[in-house]
Amino acid sequence: MNKTIQREAILNELRSVTSHHTADELYAALRPRMPLLSLGTVYRNLEQMSQAGLILKLETAGRQKRFDGNLKPHNHLRCRRCGAVSDVSDVGLDSAVERLGEAAARLGADGFVLELNGLCEKCRLEEDGKK
């Protein structure tokens, strides 16, 4: 895998945000700096880097795939209102997930995909505001 300006830019962008971009969000974020960047290049590199284990591909509910530059084990919440995916950190959840991993391994599974559903911080505040 050669080093290219485009690939570096995509990886840096993904690592510098805690949100979990879709391919077209990344494209939109990078275009001002790289006006010739092509959407196909973004897709190609995201796929490549997730194969190589440099980033995570989140392909759970919702139409578009999202990508995560944070490789440390952590959990995700998808907002049922705005669709954003945010990180969840909670000790109780982490230990439940660990147990789940053990149960899955015992069954011979390679792993699992998990995503919490609910309202993100932002939408929770907005819904409360309405009442």
CA distance 119 to 54: 29
Look at the alpha carbons of 22, 28, 33, 34 in this order and tell me if their dihedral is positive or negative: positive
Q: Which is nearer to DNA, 33 or 130 (CB)?
A: 33
Residue 20: which of 91, 111, 88 has the closest Cα?
A: 88
Q: Quick check: 113 binds DNA (CB under 7 A)?
A: no
Secondary structure element (H or E) that encloses residue 95, with its range? helix 91-106
Q: How far is the CB of 83 from a copy of itself (least distance, A)?
A: 13
Partner that binds at residue 114, options DNA, a copy of itself, none, CB closer than 5 to 8 Å by kind: a copy of itself
Q: Quick check: 125 binds a copy of itself (CB under 8 A)?
A: no
Residues that bind DNA (CB under 7 A): 1-7, 22-24, 34, 36-41, 43-45, 47-48, 63-65
